[in-house]
Amino acid sequence: MLARIVCLLGAFPVVLGFLNAGIGNNGFTVGKVNVKSTQISSKSLGRLQRLQAKLAAGDSVVLIGVAADSGCGKSTFMRRLTGMFGTDGTKFLGGGFGNGGWETNTLVSESTTVICLDDYHLNDRGGRKISGRTALDGAEQKFDLMYEQLKELKSGKPIKKPIYNHVNGTLDTPELVEPTPIVIVEGLHPMYDDRVASLLDFTIYLDISDEIKFAWKIQRDMAERGHSLEAIKASIEARKPDFDQFVAPQRSKADIVIQVLPSQLVAETGKVLRVKMIQKEGKEIFSPAYLFDEGSTISWTPCGRKLTCSYPGIKFAYGPDTFFDNEVSVIEMDGEFDNLQELIYVESHLSNTGTKFYGELTQQLLKMSNSPGSNNGTGFFQTLTALKIREVYEKITKKEVAYSK
């Protein structure tokens, strides 16, 4: 269960299949991949056969990359993405260890595959102690294999993907992963290797500032785990050099960066958040959302008769900017919503959101109102980003995704 929590993500829907499979008493072959019958349930085999029938229809695979450090909200973000595509939920490949399957990080639905890139670690936990490198180090990743396998998936072929077991730190027996219309790769390094990055149709980076990371880690590790402040500081500082060298530079490659910063409305760090949605300009399949007037520079305090705001209130901003030498459009929110239903007032002043009808952004946020960040900019911009990714998917595939109620 712990391994699943570490790389827990949601997924999207819609469907693709792949090449012919020969099935025999000792298992079956998909392309060049052989899978023993003990490694896949009859239910999974049925799904495999349904997907096969879809490949002939010419469906394409859209590959999405999500980069973030651990504890940065990937799980919640992916659940928001899932809701945009109407999925009835994702499950662990093969049912997961507790349901007669195997320990896995891979989540699947009828139309989605979510891959945790920790599975491409070069060494197990013991091996990293010998190499003296952390899991954040680029040298500790199998980028050649990652590139070849993602290229196969993108072309509609199955792969035999390795598994990194987060519970005991071992490299487990590889598993069969089938191509689906949307394949999401998430982890520390989706854009680190240029070859892998070139395969990605759209990319997101969840960027939590050092101050917020520290505040969150203190809250979690001191309150919930009994760690000392000194131990928490030492843990953060020990991994910071590798994070800054191998993970953080991917921000410059991302199409959308959701950046979480300390609030400018209050002095206390971490309780109230200032969040930016940084959208790269110039991508053919993506046009940034904007507030009021596209290309203008705007500061807006909406609190009043139409939006209930207790102290310290809410402040929005929008305008063009540069981010790592890239031209971007930035929407910013500082503060929290008191009543999520009133978000529709803010939504009415946003344009190019990717919604299918007036109020959909508000409705989607309300669907996950109990999830972390739903009352602040993290949930707001995660939801808006999910809407934009749905729009990107429709542009790439030229297929309309049905509205998810």
Q: What is the Cα–Cα distance from 136 to 287, expressed in whole angstroms? A: 32
Phi/psi of residue 215, nearest 5 degrees: -65, -45
Q: Are 232 and 221 in contact (CB under 8 A)?
A: yes
- Residue 162 preceded by cis peptide, ω within 30: no
pLDDT at 60: 78
pLDDT at 169: 94
Q: What share of the chain is helix, strand, coil (3-state, %, to 5)?
A: 35, 25, 40
Torsion of CA 355, 357, 361, 364, to 10 degrees: -110
Q: What is the Cα–Cα distance from 44 to 24, expressed in whole angstroms? A: 16
Bridge partners (DSSP) listed for residue 91: 108
Q: What is the Cα–Cα distance from 292 to 219, expressed in whole angstroms? A: 37
Q: What is the Cα–Cα distance from 248 to 52, expressed in whole angstroms? A: 39
> In tens digits, what is the pLDDT along the chain, a chain of 405 residues?
455 545 644 333 323 222 233 333 344 344 444 444 334 445 544 554 444 334 335 677 999 999 998 778 787 887 888 667 766 567 888 777 777 678 899 988 777 788 999 999 999 999 999 999 999 999 999 999 999 999 999 999 999 999 999 989 999 999 999 998 889 999 999 999 999 999 999 999 999 999 898 888 777 667 666 778 888 888 888 889 999 999 999 999 999 999 999 999 998 877 899 999 999 999 999 999 999 999 999 999 998 788 888 888 999 999 999 999 999 999 999 999 999 999 999 999 999 999 999 999 999 999 999 988 899 999 999 999 999 999 999 999 999 888 766
- What's domain 2-203's architecture? 3-Layer(aba) Sandwich (3.40)
Here the tokens at position 347 are: 């939504």
Q: What is the Cα–Cα distance from 113 to 180, expressed in whole angstroms? A: 6
pLDDT at 303: 80
Provide the whole-model pTM.
Answer: 0.85
Phi/psi of residue 175, nearest 5 degrees: -125, 155
- Spell out the domain ranges in the chain: 2-203, 255-395
pLDDT at 84: 77
Q: 250 to each of 68, 90, 255, 260, 266, how far by Cα in Å?
A: 9, 28, 10, 16, 30
| Pairing, β 202-208 against β 62-67 | parallel
In this structure, how many other beta carbons lie within 10 angstroms of the beta carbon of residue 369?
12
pLDDT at 271: 84
Amino acid identity, position 367: K
Amino acid identity, position 250: Q
pLDDT at 58: 64
Q: What is the Cα–Cα distance from 388 to 94, expressed in whole angstroms? A: 31
pLDDT at 45: 47
Q: What is the Cα–Cα distance from 220 to 239, expressed in whole angstroms? A: 18
pLDDT at 25: 35
Bridge partners (DSSP) listed for residue 188: none
